[in-house]
Structure formats: C-alpha cells, structure tokens
Structure 1
Amino acid sequence: MPRWEEHALPPAAEARFDRFSPSGPKTSLLSVPGAVGAAVAGFTPVGDVMGCVVHQVGFTEASTWAADRITQLALVLRQGYETALDRLTQEAAALGAHGVLGIDFTITSSDEMTQEFVALGTAVRAETKHRPRRPFTTELPGEDVGKLMRAGWVPARVAVGVAGRAFTDAWGRPMVSAWTWNTEVTMATELATAVRAAARAEFAEEIRDSGADGGIVSDLRFEVWPVHDVAVAAIATVTGTAIARFREGPATPAGVLRMLPLNRS
C-alpha cells in the first residue's frame, strides 16, 4: 500500500477526483430541501467529500489512573475530529469548492483498540464575487445555510469542544450504595455538570479563535460510566458551526397579525 504524508490527501482520495471531472456527474448528499436552500444562497454542489482517520487507542502504563486515561481518551477524540475535518477540507479545496455543507461525523470501533473518525459532507461552489480564501465548513444543512445568509450571517467553520474527567471518592466509598435507591448520585451529577461545562467552554474558545461572532450548537454527546465502583468517568463533546456577521439582515416583524380579514382577495 502506498504511503503518504500525514497532512496530504491519501492516494484513494486523490483517485476519487477522476469522477469529478467537468464532464462527470456531480454527486451530492444534500436532501431536496437542502439542495434548494443551497441554491437560494448561491451555492452549487460539486461533489461529496470525506475525511477519515483511524486511531489506535491505548495507554502507556497499565497502572495509569482513571483521570489520566480519560484525559488521553479526550485527546484522541479531539485529534480524530480535527484530522477528519482537515482532510475533508483538503478534498473540498482540491475540487475548487468554496465550502462544505451538511457535515456529519461518525465514530466506529472495529475492536477495543481502534476508532475510525469520518467526516462526510457536500462540497459547494459559490456563485458570488466574494468568496472565502479557504473552504468554510458547517454541519448545518443547505436550507439552514440559506436562511442564515439571508439574515446576514455566514458560516465560518465547524467548531468542536471535547472534555473528559474522572472523579473519585477520597475515602474509597462506593459511588452507588447497594441499599439506597431512587436517590441522587452526587458525584455523578457534579461530574456531568463539570464535563459538559468544560466542553462548552472549549467550543466557545474555538469560536473566538476563528474570529467569528457566534456559534450554533448542532450536537452534544455525553457518556458517563463507573470505574471500579469508587470513581466515575465522563466525556462530553460539543460540535457546531462558528458564524460571522457580514451584513445587517432584514428586520424581524415588530408584532403579529392578530386578525385576518376574510374578505381579502
């Protein structure tokens, strides 16, 4: 199997460009409403694009404590999202696209040691004079992008926030009592709140670093599990789109129509 540089496109991805020749079909993952919305916003699909990476998940020492392992897992998640998104963007740029709509992330595990991260979306070309230097990326579908741009906002890039932590009882007491039911697990509640807040904070930092004016959250994933009955671990992931204001959109109605005349033709 031929090798390639880490930041270059895989040979299989380059081979896919043959079907995106000017005379070839233009494939799209957009729904019918999404395709119409993209067209209204001035975008033409040029092909579906994908970015993927397979990571080996493991720990340097068998005695690594739960908190250190969760930190490593969060790092693998963050790197997986970033690498898959970067390779998707490279494919879009190679097609001459100006953006990618409707990006969907999937994570699959073939065994306990590997995880595959896949980013899949539809590359589009702008039919306007003002075009971004680097293809923008968004999880939003075509119809939402059309509404967003009509209101004076433009998608900048996908932002991801990942946080992982583990809490343990200092006295080694069980996380859940075997004799008490239908009661709050305080340690798990505190952890869930802290991890979600940390993931949202990293998501907000990604938006600030991109120079955008705001962000739209598309998905929030959360997983929590016990560790040897005396600790609890959790990982939260927030994904969405950083958006920037490029002009003032149409004003929203000041009120609502309380009566509708029936004699109006």
Structure 2
Amino acid sequence: MKQYQGYLIDLDGTMYQGNQKIDGAAEFIHYLNEHEIPHLFVTNNSTKEPEQVADKLHTMGVEANSDEVVTSALATAEFIADKDPGATVYMLGGSGLRTALTEHGLKLKDDEFVDYVVIGLDEAVTYDKLATATLAVRNGAKFISTNKDVSIPKERGFMPGNGAITSVVSVSTGVDPIFIGKPEPIIMNKALDILSLDKKNVAMIGDLYDTDILSGINIDIDTIHVQTGVTTKEELTEKDIPPTYTFADLNEVIAELEGAD
C-alpha cells in the first residue's frame, strides 16, 4: 500500500460502532501520531461540537483533539459565512450546528423571513419547525442541508437521518438543497484545505461506500475501505468504482504501512 502524507478519517463504523470500540482504531491513530502524520476526523454528524466528538473518541481510547475534527456543521457555517457574511438563518438542528453558525457570525432567526434555511439532524423536529422552514424556502431563502444521510444507526436500529428530514421541505417546496456533508465535495475540500497537502498524498478512510468512499472518489483522492461497519467486502464488487484498497480493519492498515517503512 502507498504511504500517504495525510488521512481523512470517518468516525462511526471506522473509529467506533455506536458506543463500542472498534479493534485497531486507537492503535491506528497512535501510529499516525507516533509518525507525525497529519489527519482529520470528518463526520456528517452536525449535532455535536468538535470538543464533544474529541471527548467521545477519548472514551474509546483514541487520541484526538478538537481541532482535528471537521463536522458538517462547521463546513456548513463556513460555506454560508464565506458567501454571505452576517446572513440570517432559520435552522433545524442541534447544539453543534447552532454553535457553528453563531461562531461564524451568522444571525439565527425564528421566523420564515431569512436569507438561509439550514437543516441539520433535529431529534426534536416538529411540524411547526418544518412548516417554518418550508415557508422560508418558498419566500426565497437559500436552502442548505448538512448532509443527505437518510438513516443513522442507533441502539434501536436504523433511524431517520437528516436526509429524511430534509426531504420533507424539499418535496413540499420542489426545491433541492445544497448538501454540505459527505459524499459532497464541500466538506472534503474544507478538510483538504486544513491539511494543506497535495491531494495525491491524502487518502480517505471509511466503512460506508455511499458516503465515505464516494466522498474520496468525488474529489479524486485515494480511498481505504475498512470492513468494520456497514459496507461489506462483497458489496464492493457491485460498485462501478471500487475503493483503492479494502482491509478487514485498521490493524491490517497498520501492518501494511509498517511493511512499507
């Protein structure tokens, strides 16, 4: 396997599975830190702040700092602030999205007369929230969604994801949103900018083909699939563009890297 100068790394299914550790995850990050190889954790989760993500990684024995975490909430806030500083926003979502938007100087409003509608995963979503978002889009607000994941893994099973919530407003208004998170290039290009490395020397690591692996393919970087989450090795044979590599877990990736030293 090629030696890379930097890595973009998925979380759920790659670093951990819900609240369970994944064998090899902590060891892989330790290997990167020991060899001073830069890396970022890239997540579609918009509900958590980077500090909260880093704290969860710590509970799994994974070395992580908040400045190594790129969330779809951060990428969304930066996307809007770059285009329209100080814009007004009606949002659905959690504290991670709220904090990211306000810290980027955007003004949150609780009505349908805004510049942007931003939808992130909102586990307390109501008809009234969706109605306000719908009216705002109909009034001409630009429509942004943190990610298109239609389902997310929970202890009870796969639950409705942000893409499912977003679809209510999209279907009602006939307006398709701009999606920010994986597999879209926006979040990935933000992460590449932070790494400041030539993308031919960066690889994306993840378990889910339709988000993690496609996100790498969509920005033309190499991809490393790990068989510790959703997409199986057998399912990869049905894909038009396979990942650059696939491994049982991150222990195998470490072995490959050590063998190439």
Give TM class, smaller chain.
under 0.3
Question: Please, what TM-score do these two structures have when normalized by structure 1?
Answer: 0.22
Larger Rg: 1
Which has a greater percent of helix? 2
TM-score normalised over the length of structure 2: 0.22
